[in-house]
Amino acid sequence: MFFLSYLVPEPSHGWLVAGPSESPENWYVAPDGTRCSIAMGNTVDRVFAEAVLRVCAEAATILGADPELRERIAAARELLPPFQIGRHGQLQEWLDDVEEADPAHRHTSHLCALFPERQITPRRNPQLARAAEVTIERRQQAAGWEQTEWVEANFAVFYARLLRGEEALTHVTKLITDASEANLLSYSVGGVAGAAQNIYSFDGNAGGTAAVAEMLLQSDGEEIELLPALPSAWRDGAVRGLRARGGFTADLTWRDGRLCRARIRSAGAATSRVRYRDATVNVTFDPGGAVTVEPDEAGQIHAAARSTADAAQPPSVRSQ
């Protein structure tokens, strides 16, 4: 209800935009050369508005409630501004294609469209996915790029969502080697925010863990993708207990960079599409049941139901 009241029509196209607001914590250069942080229709607000409206409508549909509200939400979502690609090939952070006042800024708030949201994906929106990559590349190439532990975690998980396992591993490695203590607790380097010494920050630990999980398994409620961003350095390995949206738990093993087997358990009766590389299979689960998914030499995958669910095991991962 807040967004339906707060969003206002943008005069040029009639798009519904939020504002005045910021794209935390970045600045841009206005046409007159002024450094500004406030604007209308920032991309990050578009992402959040779409997510809140979509989830609210889905909940109302499941509950069979508020049909008039659902109609208002559907109309508003149709008028949200599209994602745009700027003059440098980057995903625009603001409604207008303005220059960044600080090209090396650590914040990339508009890339929340990649993670945790899935409003941009490489299979559904390849051009926008490439524009998101350009945004990351330009940040890192700019003089004075602000490397922090949570930036490394963000870039790792962004690249995982972009299905770029090598780049994701690069940033996981930098998170561990350049922004973590010997006990693996991540930190922001001394000097950030005027601190005299390194500042412990949980962001790197939580975000880095999320990145590793996204490299090995991704899900959106309709599809479970196995080893979507597996880097070549993780040649052989196994993971147990990864969770997928919809009440699924998966155990995976791989050899020579190729999936050997996935065992997927479901908490209840369910159906899901399972993907490995370009192959997909539709799977039906009995309540508490398990399915084994394996690839064949032709690149297809096959699923076979197991008579009983595997015993629950705590999550773990190993790689060689």
- Indicate if 119 and 185 belong to the same structural domain: yes
3-state class of 195 per DSSP?
Answer: coil
24 in a domain, yes or no? yes
Joined together, the tokens standing for residue 34 give 């002024």
Residue 306 is predicted with a pLDDT of 66
pLDDT confidence of residue 316: 55
Dihedral of alpha carbons 143, 205, 214, 81, sign: negative
- Indicate whether 99 and 181 sit together in one domain: yes
Same-domain status, 101 and 208: yes
Are 204 and 70 in the same domain?
Answer: yes
Number of domains the chain is built from: 2
**Do 175 and 77 share a structural domain?**
yes
**Is 151 found in the same domain as 274?**
no
Q: What gap in Å lies between CA 126 and CA 83, rounded to an integer?
A: 12
Return per-residue pLDDT of the chain as tens, 320 residues. Answer: 999 999 999 999 999 999 999 999 999 999 999 999 999 999 999 999 999 999 999 999 999 999 999 999 999 999 999 999 999 999 999 999 999 999 998 899 999 999 999 999 999 999 999 999 999 999 999 998 877 899 999 999 999 999 999 999 999 999 999 999 999 999 988 877 677 888 898 999 999 999 999 999 999 999 999 999 999 999 999 999 999 999 999 999 999 999 999 999 999 999 999 999 999 999 999 999 999 999 999 889 999 986 444 444 555 555 54
Specify whether 170 is located in the same domain as 211.
yes
Confirm whether 29 is domain-assigned: yes
- Peptide bond preceding 116 in cis form (omega within 30 of 0): yes
Based on the domain organization, do 124 and 239 belong to the same domain? no
CATH code for the domain of 192? 1.50.10.10
Cis geometry, peptide bond prior to residue 20 (ω within 30 degrees of 0): yes
Q: What is the structure's pLDDT at 313? A: 53
Residues 192 and 69 in one domain: yes
Q: Is 209 helix (H, G, I), strand (E, B) or coil?
A: helix
Domain end position, chosen among 216, 243, 268: 216
Query: What residue numbers bound the domain in which 87 lies?
Result: 2-216
Query: What span, in angstroms and rounded, lies between the C-alpha atoms of 122 and 285?
Result: 28
| Residue 147, domain member (yes or no) | yes
Produce one character per residue of 48-61: b if its CB has 16 or more CB atoms within 10 Å, e if not.
bbbbebeebbeebe
> Are residues 14 and 161 both part of a single domain?
yes
